[in-house]
């Protein structure tokens, strides 16, 4: 297996023979987020997607998901199950799926160009898939935000002769704004001759953000709750820490401070910063949000698991102001479903301002609008993102 750190060399000739195909009868030119004009088939039929699900989500909306012939994330191949035991000895289990795996079970049958650990691309697998278009979303797990690694990966794929469209996820920019998602959707729409439909999808997603801003804009500084995004990562716990947090320069903090108009309880910078129990108490959050972090973590885990007994005196825990965000394996908050994360954060911060918004029902309408599914499929998506905790709660 070749890693993205080393360009194709000894088997370069073999890769080129596998990869190069006859020119298509029709072609179009699409400018990707590098600003590079890329010639692609007018109707791509065999697409390799190297991302964590955003590309597949947009392609589902556009009705061209069946053209995916190779994927780049094992999250779309796995069944996830999490077991928890309370201090009283009671055990319970939660199971979730990637939304794309739920909607398209056949994705599990496709070759994955990434290693199961998610840290090394196989260019041999990509070559064998013979795609007529590769879409690479840098900033997602398969490549990440390392500039040198991304450049080597791009060079290796282009050296194989494949048309390559490069998208930059919000994580790539090391900034907090999520507006670049529209540029990503627009490029995908153009690739499949549906630019207006893709841009309309991006505008629909952004509509939730606009609604939240309108409702929270008037909150005075002294009324803003302090919210802590606390990733209950098992690896940090095993090393003696309590969890991981996100600083003020992250997309997560952007949602809290610029969209919801609340306050990030952690005032440092950086993403996934390990924290001790003492450091979390020093943050003294009014509200704790539990994102996907090396697994799904329900509020009950923080309330009842024996290994979090030291955090039970936090105000947010004592007052039962702990909320789980949707289960989203890998790059959790930058996929098509991100408006659900925003709305949960907003209602957790200001329940009175969103009293008329039932997020449990909103999710059903959201899935139907975005993915064109029926009510039963929407219910399945809601369950597979582990949002059924909202049932009967008024949330």
Return the structure tokens found at 44. 């791509």
Q: How far is Cα 368 from Cα 376, in angstroms, rounded to an integer?
A: 10
Q: Domain tally for the chain?
A: 2
Return the structure tokens found at 259. 């969209």
Question: Is residue 75 a part of any domain in this protein?
Answer: yes
Name the one residue in this structure whose structure tokens are 């990562």. Answer: 233
Do 174 and 229 lie in one domain? The reply is no
Question: Is residue 64 a part of any domain in this protein?
Answer: yes
The residue ranking higher by pLDDT, 20 or 377, is 377
C-alpha angle 239/82/245, rounded to 5°? 45
Question: Is residue 364 a part of any domain in this protein?
Answer: no
Question: Is residue 7 a part of any domain in this protein?
Answer: no
Question: Is residue 215 a part of any domain in this protein?
Answer: no
Q: How many CB atoms lie within 10 A of CB 1?
A: 9
Domain boundary among 172, 204, 236: 204
pTM given for the model: 0.90
Question: Is residue 387 a part of any domain in this protein?
Answer: no
CB 94 within 8 A of CB 82: yes
Q: Per-residue pLDDT for 11 more than 60?
A: no
Q: Per-residue pLDDT for 62 more than 50?
A: yes
Q: How far is Cα 212 from Cα 35, in angstroms, rounded to an integer?
A: 32
CATH no. for residue 121?
3.40.50.1980
- Region of poorest pLDDT, from 37-46, 109-118, 241-250, 325-334: 325-334
Do 200 and 226 lie in one domain? The reply is no
Name the one residue in this structure whose structure tokens are 């690739």. Answer: 191
Domain boundary among 204, 234, 258: 204
Burial category of 145 from C-beta neighbours within 10 Å (exposed 0-12, middle 13-18, buried 19 and up) = middle
Q: How far is CA 12 from CA 149, 158, 240, in A?
A: 19, 12, 46
End-to-end Cα distance, the chain: 47
CB 137 within 8 A of CB 184: yes
Residues 6 or more apart in contact with residue 243 via CB below 8 angstroms: 230, 231, 232, 233, 236, 237, 274, 275, 280, 293
Do 100 and 29 lie in one domain? The reply is yes
Q: What phi, psi does 82 have (nearest 5°)?
A: -130, 130
Do 65 and 178 lie in one domain? The reply is yes
Question: Is residue 382 a part of any domain in this protein?
Answer: no
Domain boundary among 170, 204, 238: 204
Do 132 and 177 lie in one domain? The reply is yes
Do 224 and 197 lie in one domain? The reply is no
Do 29 and 137 lie in one domain? The reply is yes
Do 186 and 296 lie in one domain? The reply is no
Q: How far is Cα 156 from Cα 321, in angstroms, rounded to an integer?
A: 48
Q: How far is Cα 381 from Cα 361, in angstroms, rounded to an integer?
A: 12
Res. 18 pLDDT band, cuts 50 70 90: very low
Res. 269 pLDDT band, cuts 50 70 90: very high
Compute the radius of gyration of the chain from its Cα atoms.
Answer: 21
Residue 105's domain comprises 12-204
Q: What phi, psi does 275 have (nearest 5°)?
A: -130, 145
Which pLDDT score is estimated for 1? 34
Q: Dmax of the chain from CA atoms?
A: 67
Do 59 and 159 lie in one domain? The reply is yes
Which pLDDT score is estimated for 271? 86
Return the structure tokens found at 362. 């909103």
CA quadruple 179, 271, 342, 184: dihedral positive or negative? positive
Q: How far is Cα 164 from Cα 158, in angstroms, rounded to an integer?
A: 7
Q: How far is CA 272 from CA 127, 232, 338, in A?
A: 34, 10, 18
The DSSP call for residue 311 is G
Do 174 and 283 lie in one domain? The reply is no
The average pLDDT across 153-172 equals: 95
Q: Per-residue pLDDT for 4 more than 60?
A: no
Which pLDDT score is estimated for 13? 37
Q: Per-residue pLDDT for 20 more than 80?
A: no
Do 177 and 305 lie in one domain? The reply is no
Question: Is residue 131 a part of any domain in this protein?
Answer: yes
Do 32 and 157 lie in one domain? The reply is yes
């Amino acid at each position: 297996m070749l890693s993205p750190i080393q360009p194709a060399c000894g088997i370069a000739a073999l890769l080129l023979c596998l990869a190069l195909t006859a020119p298509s009868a029709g072609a179009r030119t699409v400018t990707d987020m590098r600003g590079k004009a890329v010639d692609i088939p007018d109707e791509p039929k065999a697409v390799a997607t190297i991302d964590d699900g955003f590309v597949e989500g947009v392609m589902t909306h556009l009705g061209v998901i069946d053209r995916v012939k190779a994927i780049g994330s094992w999250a779309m191949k796995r069944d996830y199950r999490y077991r928890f035991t309370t201090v009283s000895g009671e055990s319970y289990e939660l199971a979730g799926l990637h939304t794309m795996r739920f909607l398209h079970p056949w994705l599990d049958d496709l070759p994955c160009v990434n290693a199961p650990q998610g840290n090394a691309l196989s260019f041999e697998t990509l070559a064998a898939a013979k795609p007529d278009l590769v879409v690479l979303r840098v900033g997602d797990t398969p490549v990440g935000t390392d500039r040198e690694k991304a450049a080597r990966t791009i060079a290796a794929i282009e050296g194989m002769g494949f048309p390559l469209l490069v998208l930059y996820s919000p994580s790539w920019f090391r900034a907090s704004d999520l507006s670049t998602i529209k540029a990503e959707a627009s490029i995908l729409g153009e690739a499949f001759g549906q630019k207006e439909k893709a841009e309309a999808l991006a505008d629909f997603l952004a509509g939730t953000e606009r609604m939240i801003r309108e409702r929270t804009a008037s909150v005075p500084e002294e009324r803003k709750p302090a919210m802590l995004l606390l990733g209950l990562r098992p690896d940090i716990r095993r090393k003696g820490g309590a969890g991981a947090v996100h600083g003020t320069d992250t997309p997560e903090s952007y949602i809290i401070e610029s969209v919801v108009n609340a306050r990030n309880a952690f005032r440092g910078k950086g993403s996934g910063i390990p924290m001790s129990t003492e450091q979390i108490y020093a943050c003294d959050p009014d509200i704790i949000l539990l994102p996907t972090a090396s697994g799904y973590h329900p509020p009950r885990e923080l309330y009842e698991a024996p290994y979090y007994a030291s955090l039970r005196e936090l105000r947010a825990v004592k007052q039962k102001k702990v909320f789980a965000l949707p289960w989203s394996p890998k790059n959790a908050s930058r996929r098509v479903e991100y408006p659900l994360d925003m709305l949960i954060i907003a209602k957790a911060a200001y329940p009175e301002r969103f009293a008329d918004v039932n997020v449990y029902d909103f999710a059903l309408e959201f899935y139907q609008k975005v993915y064109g599914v029926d009510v039963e499929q929407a219910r399945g998506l809601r369950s597979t993102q582990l949002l059924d905790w909202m049932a009967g709660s008024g949330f």
